[in-house]
């Protein structure tokens, strides 16, 4: 086994330090997410006829993961923009995420949902944003927006903390909803994709 070079040692130390930094930032931000706001979102999801999810970029990817988990619970879930996504209507819920709350496509989806009589649940760092104003249920994630490069709130790049806390918040809601069902994991697994 060859000995690590000084460059490899420096890289390993830097990686360990960055993992600690990210863990600390995520833990601090997640601790500030409002449990009552998450509980309200859980209620919205439980009461919806169908759930639609929409987000751009990495936030959209996180919501796609959340959509899969909600499908595992047996909810009818659609990802906005997929070719088989139907029209949204009354008794449906649109779940969206945007750190800035100004992402144009996500705001338009929220406006369309409201016009169609659906409810809108929003994850954002900016509750006073156009998207925040559309929300029937709002979960504020205390993280800098991706264009906030100089605030010192996070040392991570461009919205990473928002997306990380979004993932944890969505997973916590799934976990609570799942525990309420008392359905074993093996039963949820029967809904997992088998055409992979």
Active-site residues: which are they?
A: 163
Q: In angstroms, rounded to a whole number, what is the distance separating the alpha carbons of residues 141 and 168?
A: 10
SS (H, E, C) 145-159: CCCCCCCCCCCCCCC
Do 78 and 52 form a contact (C-beta atoms < 8 A)?
Answer: yes
**Cα–Cα distance, 54 to 105 (Å, whole number):** 9
Q: Which residue in 154, 124, 128 sits closest to 140, CA to CA?
A: 124
């Amino acid at each position: 086994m060859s000995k690590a070079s000084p460059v490899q040692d420096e890289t390993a130390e830097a990686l360990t330090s960055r993992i600690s930094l990210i863990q600390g930032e995520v833990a601090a931000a997640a601790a500030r997410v409002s449990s009552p706001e998450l509980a309200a979102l859980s209620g919205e999801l439980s009461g919806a006829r169908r759930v639609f999810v929409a987000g751009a970029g990495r936030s959209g990817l996180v919501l796609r993961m959340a959509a899969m988990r909600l499908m595992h619970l047996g909810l009818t879930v659609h990802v906005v923009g997929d070719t088989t996504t139907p029209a949204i209507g009354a008794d449906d819920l649109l779940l969206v995420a945007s750190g800035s709350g100004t992402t144009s496509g996500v705001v338009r989806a929220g406006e369309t949902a409201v016009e169609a009589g659906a409810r809108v649940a929003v994850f954002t760092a900016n509750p006073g944003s156009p998207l925040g104003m559309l929300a029937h249920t709002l979960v504020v994630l205390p993280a800098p927006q991706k264009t906030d490069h100089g605030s010192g709130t996070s040392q991570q790049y461009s919205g990473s903390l928002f997306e990380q806390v979004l993932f944890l918040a969505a997973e916590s809601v799934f976990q609570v909803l799942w525990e309420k069902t008392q359905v074993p994991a093996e039963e949820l697994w029967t809904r997992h994709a088998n055409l992979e």
